[in-house]
Amino acid sequence: MKPEPEPDGLAVRLFDGEQMEVYSDIGDAIQVTPEQVQLVSMDTSTELVSGMLFGVDGVCKLWIENVFDEVDKYAPAIDPITYPDGRVAFEHDTIARRRAGAIARMKVLQ
């Protein structure tokens, strides 16, 4: 099932050990592998379960497959940039927030 992107955002569906699909707001899919997606940081106080990542203006809600078990090996997060209009951006990164409160940051490696 193709995830529906939110307006001006992107949707990423992750499959454990398989291809990932990254959708832009115009609906084009970009195929990436788990090795191309790097977890930058994660708050593991809340268990992450299967789901999808949806982003708008760099601020996302995360509900994701639990495919990143070795969190400690990833680099610490970079401080966000907050624009005057309230948008939050992360250079080459996405901040993702699960509804229950777990926070993860990922980037797609070129």
Instruction: Give me the sign of the Cα torsion angle 99, 43, 4, 8.
Output: positive
Query: Given a cut of 60, is residue 110 above it in pLDDT?
Result: no
What does the alpha-carbon distance between residue 23 and residue 13 come to, in Å, rounded to a whole number?
Answer: 8
Of the given ranges (3-17, 35-49, 52-66, 83-97), which has the lowest mean pLDDT? 52-66
Average pLDDT over residues 72-82: 39
What does the alpha-carbon distance between residue 96 and residue 53 come to, in Å, rounded to a whole number?
Answer: 7
Query: Given a cut of 50, is residue 84 above it in pLDDT?
Result: yes
End-to-end CA distance of the chain: 25
DSSP 48-64: --S-EEEEETTEEEE--
Q: Which helix (H) or strand (E) holds 54?
A: strand 52-56
> Model's pTM, two decimal places?
0.23
Cβ(49)–Cβ(66) below 8 Å: yes
**56's tokens:** 């708008």
Q: For residue 78, what pLDDT is reported?
A: 41
Query: Given a cut of 60, is residue 9 above it in pLDDT?
Result: no
